Amino acid sequence: MKVLFIGGIKSGKSLNAEKYIQKLSKSKPIYLATTEFVDDEMHNRIQKHQAQRGESFFTVEEALELSDEIKKHENSAVLVECLSIWVNNMLYHEKSYEDMQAEINKVMMQERDIVFVINDVSCGVIPENPLARKFVDANGKIAQLVASGCDEVYHVVAGITARIK
């Protein structure tokens, strides 16, 4: 089973994805954190997420090579949090959209339960700078790619989850 939770920042998608995978999983699931520590504010966000999930998950961190990390935990359901941060990491490390697409395809081919979280950044204005436009475009394409391969897709707004696929 592959599932995607998509929504805006602070929409409640992470909490809802965590609850979903805990019901789906027969054992303690893997929390695959993609965030790289870049500044104090991001570090504070990470600490809040860690406190929210408590001891309910085995946490592993991987900023780029998702498929290899997921393979290491072949008997566990995996929550990938968050694909938007992963897209950011890939751009920061000068990876192309084709690199991202290839990595996601490797993840999607794995026969296991995976729940993905991604930010919906498509409802705003077109950013003024090229890097931000590149991020918005890549994030949107990755969201489409993952959603097309998922069994279920949920949109989260104001903490309310609505199944859209």
Q: What is the largest CA-CA distance in the chain?
A: 46
Q: Report whether the peptide linkage leading into residue 82 is cis, meaning its omega lies within 30 degrees of zero.
A: yes
User: What's the helix, strand, coil split of the chain in %, to 5?
Assistant: 45, 20, 35
Q: Cα separation of 61 and 144, whole Å?
A: 24
Whether 73 sits among the annotated catalytic residues: the reply is no
Beta strands 160-163 and 152-157, pairing class: antiparallel
Catalytic residue among 49, 73, 93, 155: 49
Question: Which sequence positions are flagged as catalytic?
Answer: 49
